[in-house]
Amino acid sequence: MLKLENLDVFYGAIHALRGVSVTVDEGEIVTLIGANGAGKSTLLRSASGMVRPKTGSVTFLGENITRTPIASIVSRGLVHCPEGRRIFANMTVKENLELGAYLRKDKAGIASDYEYALNLFPRLRERLTQSAGTLSGGEQQMLAIGRALMSKPKLLMMDEPSLGLAPVIVQDIFRIITTINQEQKVAVLLVEQNANKALAVAHRGYVLETGRITLQGPAAELRTNPEVKKAYLGE
C-alpha cells in the first residue's frame, strides 16, 4: 500500500532521514521504534505531505504522492493521527469528529463511521457537547483516533498514541489499534515509544536510529533480538 523509498529529509542543516525505505502492505500493522530524535515522526510527516523530502519518493496505492497536496493525500485514504493529539480544544467533541470527515460527501457513510467511532469509544458519546479541551488525556487520544477514522482511512499512521497515558488507558489504546486493523481492514503504521506494546500488536517492525533504518523484520523476531531487547525493551 505504502512505499517510502530512499527518503532524505533535512531541517535546515540537520539531516533528519538518511536514505530511509519503509513499506506497509495491505492489512498490516507495521511499527517504527527508536529513540527520541531518531526521525520517526519525520518519516510519518514525509508520508503525509507535511514535510517534503529532498530526495526519494512516497508511493501510495501505486501512485507517486511525493509532491501531492496534503488534502489530496487524505482523500486517497492515507491519514495521519499526529503526536500530541492536536484536537481543537475550543470545539466540542462532536465538532472535532465531524471535522474528520470534512473532505467527504457520502452522508450515509459519514453517519455510519460516526456511530462506529462512538461505539469504539463510548466515553466520547457521553461527552459529545463537551469542549474537547476539558477531556482527560486518554479521552483526547480517543477523540484524535476517532477523528482520524472519520476521514475513512485505508492506511492510518499513528504517532505516539500512548504517550503520557495511564497504563490502563494504554491497554485500551493498543486493543483499539488491533480492533481497527481487524474490523475495518485498515493498515496501520505505528510510531510508539512503548516498543514492547508496539511489537506485541505489529506484524513487522523497523528500528530507526539517527535517521537510518538499522534493523527490520517480523515483530516477533525483533522482540527477541538482543540489541532491541537491550536498547528498547529494558531487558
pLDDT tens-place values along the chain, 235 residues long: 999 999 999 999 999 999 999 999 999 999 999 988 899 999 999 999 999 999 999 999 999 999 999 999 999 999 999 886 789 999 999 999 999 999 999 999 999 999 999 999 999 999 999 999 999 988 999 999 999 999 999 999 999 998 888 888 889 999 999 999 999 999 999 999 889 999 999 999 999 999 999 999 999 999 999 999 998 887 6
pLDDT score of 235: 62
User: Can you give the pLDDT at residue 114?
Assistant: 96
Beta strands per DSSP E along 51-121: 55-60, 63-64, 78-81
Alpha-carbon span 121 to 17, nearest angstrom: 35
Report d(CA 29, CA 184) in Å as an integer. Answer: 13
CB 24 within 8 A of CB 77: no
The DSSP call for residue 104 is -
Q: Which residue do the cell numbers 526521525 mark? A: 39
28/45 Cα distance (integer angstroms): 20
One-letter identity of residue 64: N
Residue owning grid cell 501512485: 63
Q: Where are the domains of the chain?
A: 2-87+152-232
Say what the pLDDT of residue 143 is. Answer: 94
| CA–CA distance, 16 with 149 (Å, rounded to integer) | 29
Looking at the domain that runs over 2-87+152-232, which CATH code has it been given? Answer: 3.40.50.300
> Would you say 57 and 6 are in contact if contact means Cβ atoms under 8 Å apart?
yes
Q: What does the alpha-carbon distance between residue 80 and residue 43 come to, in Å, rounded to a whole number?
A: 11
CA angle 82, 22, 4 (to 5 degrees): 80
